[in-house]
Amino acid sequence: MTQVFKFGGASIQNAAAIRQLGELLARFRSRPLVVVVSAMGKTTNALEALLAAAREGDTENYRERLERLRRDHLAVVEALFGDQAGPVTSQVEALITELDRRHQRHAGQARPFHYDQTVCFGELLSTTIVSAWFEAAGMATQWCDARELVITDDGHQAANVDWQATAERVDELATEDGRILVTQGFIGGTADGSATTTLGREGSDFSAAIFAYCLDAETVTIWKDVPGLFNADPRRVSNAQQLERISYQEAVELAWHGAKVIHPKTLGPLQRKAIPLKVRSFENLEAPPSVIGRDTRFDSQLPSLVLREEQTLLEIHPRDFAFMDETRQHDILGRLAAAGLHAGLIDSGAMRLSLCLDGHPERLEPLVDALCQEYAVTRHDALTLVTVRHADEALLAALSAGRDSLAERRNADTAQRLFPAAQCRGTWHLPT
Ligand code: ADP
Ligand code: ASP
Ligand code: MG
């Protein structure tokens, strides 16, 4: 049965990392194998900055950024292939030329469409280099174009997958011929092939799940710079512990509340076909992975903590002492959805709706302006949303000590509090 491996930006950030990946595959590959790869390092951020420069009309900045992208990728090719670099260098040069050409062609179009036609090149470049390296390392490899496999609608920057069309395309992949199939995470295409689409930032985990679902894969392994899924971000919380086995539902809750280790959309397709998801380290190959599956028995053994940074709280009140009734709530939440904003905490009162939102200025500002036309809106910026699962009173009290909560929500297994970011900086410790 097919295995799906996913490698994120950190695992291919330079030539040494790509070399290590070759060794990892030589050791752990099974057949058939589909490898889903993100853009190298922080390339997607670099492409977003390039796009922003161009759309602001700063041609010089755009040219500089394009040249840096070209140089950085060519340096990796040079370091990997040395005097055999010729063919891959030509492929990278061709992709950079194509990026420039597409970008110019679509410059007059709406930003989300333009974004997808430009930012997809991060994954096109990385997979070109990585698949050539696997081949050079003696592993027969085939590069596959996810734009022709992952079929989506035209919801640019957050495209919805057409599962039937995707299953039909993926079914045609020659998974059985022994070659490693290398494809791009994050990107897809419309059915008529006229446009590239993207699945949302950090969407490569979801891509791996899409391939696994369509191939009825045995497992998906997401190789990370941490040994697995922890009960808190191990980079923020000094005593975070690895969750060795947890359920799809529990993992979805953590991801939805902002645990950045897995894209929340990843779990649904895997749950539907009971495909286990392993999260394991590409740095420490001996470390046991976290396994996410059907078993719910271990979900509440440890409390878990998620910190969501750069939050904004909007407190929205109807004018003239009117109720915040269902019609008004529907109106406000509809506007939120239309703006593509996520509310990590929603709380309401007779004359109030409180929303805690990710601070995307370009989406938030127009929403706030529009709401202010009809409602009285109070706004607090620079907040951190703290979500705790399976916590008792003592733990909640200890986490809140010395912090001023601006909003709260609580149900049987989840408690959320919103604190000023200034009170949440630095390393945390989960009280035991
Ligand atoms: P990728 O490049 O594969 O997409 P990410 O950077 O998105 O990898 O995810 C890995 C990072 O997720 C880790 O470096 C870690 O700091 C962070 N992280 C946040 N929450 C958790 C958690 N609960 N468990 C493990 N890692 C977490
Ligand atoms: N390269 C994309 C991003 O940085 C997708 C991913 O890495 O998952 O958002
Ligand atoms: Mg990620």
Q: What is the pLDDT of residues 194-215, one digit of tens each?
A: 999 999 999 999 999 999 999 9
The whole-number pLDDT of residue 362 equals 84
The whole-number pLDDT of residue 261 equals 95
The whole-number pLDDT of residue 432 equals 81
| pLDDT, mean of residues 314-341 | 96
Atom of ligand 2 nearest to the CA of 186: 5
pLDDT, mean over the chain? 96
The Å distance, Cα 262 to ligand 3 centre, comes to: 6
Residues 6+ apart with CB under 8 A from 259: 229, 233, 304, 306
Report percent pLDDT > 70 for the chain: 100
Which residue's CA is the closest to the ligand 1 atom numbered 19? 233
**Residue 211, H or E segment:** helix 204-215
The whole-number pLDDT of residue 278 equals 98
The Å distance, Cα 202 to ligand 3 centre, comes to: 5
Positive or negative: CA dihedral 227, 232, 236, 237? negative
pLDDT > 80? residue 318: yes
The whole-number pLDDT of residue 106 equals 92
The Å distance, Cα 317 to ligand 1 centre, comes to: 37
Hey, how many other C-beta atoms are within 10 angstroms of the C-beta on 403? 16
Which protein residues touch ligand 1 with a CB less than 6 Å away?
8-10, 202, 224-226, 229-230, 232-235, 259-261
Write out the two tokens for 414: 């989840």
CA 389 to chain centre: 22
Say yes or no: CB of residue 8 within 6 Å of ligand 2: yes
Residues 6+ apart with CB under 8 A from 147: 120, 184, 187, 188, 189, 193, 196
The whole-number pLDDT of residue 176 equals 81
Write out the two tokens for 342: 């996520």
Say yes or no: CB of residue 282 within 6 Å of ligand 2: no
More confident residue, 23 or 175: 23
The whole-number pLDDT of residue 13 equals 97
The Å distance, Cα 9 to ligand 1 centre, comes to: 11
Which residue's CA is the closest to the ligand 1 atom numbered 1? 8
The Å distance, Cα 321 to ligand 1 centre, comes to: 45
The whole-number pLDDT of residue 30 equals 86
Atom of ligand 1 nearest to the CA of 223: 3
Which residue's CA is the closest to the ligand 1 atom numbered 7? 261
Residues 6+ apart with CB under 8 A from 383: 311, 312, 313, 356, 406, 418, 419, 420, 421
* pLDDT tier at 431, thresholds 50, 70, 90: confident
Atom of ligand 2 nearest to the CA of 201: 9
Q: Which of 260, 304, 390 to mutate to test the pocket of ligand 1 (most atoms within 8 A of CB)?
A: 260
The string of pLDDT tens digits covering residues 91-114 is: 999 999 999 999 889 989 999 999
Report percent pLDDT > 90 for the chain: 94
> Counting Cβ atoms within 10 Å, is residue 178 exposed (0-12), middle (13-18) or buried (19+)?
exposed
3-state helix, strand, coil in the chain (%, to 5): 45, 25, 35
Atom of ligand 1 nearest to the CA of 243: 24
Residues 6+ apart with CB under 8 A from 98: 121
Which residue's CA is the closest to the ligand 2 atom numbered 6? 202
The C-alpha atoms of residue 267 and residue 256 are separated, in whole angstroms, by 10
The string of pLDDT tens digits covering residues 223-267 is: 999 999 999 999 999 999 999 999 999 999 999 999 999 999 999
pLDDT > 80? residue 43: yes
The whole-model pTM stands at 0.96
| pLDDT, mean of residues 367-391 | 97
pLDDT > 90? residue 188: yes
Say yes or no: CB of residue 122 within 6 Å of ligand 2: yes
The Å distance, Cα 396 to ligand 2 centre, comes to: 33
Which residue's CA is the closest to the ligand 1 atom numbered 2? 8
Q: Which ligand is nearest to the CA of 10?
A: 1
* pLDDT tier at 3, thresholds 50, 70, 90: very high
CA 95 to chain centre: 24
The Å distance, Cα 115 to ligand 1 centre, comes to: 25
The C-alpha atoms of residue 210 and residue 269 are separated, in whole angstroms, by 7
Atom of ligand 2 nearest to the CA of 8: 7
Rg of the chain over all Cα atoms, to the nearest angstrom: 23
The C-alpha atoms of residue 70 and residue 106 are separated, in whole angstroms, by 20
- The secondary structure of 129-187 as a DSSP string is HHHHHHHHTT--EEE--GGGTSEE-S-TTSPPB-HHHHHHHHHTS-GGGSPEEEEESSE
The Å distance, Cα 284 to ligand 2 centre, comes to: 22
* pLDDT tier at 175, thresholds 50, 70, 90: confident
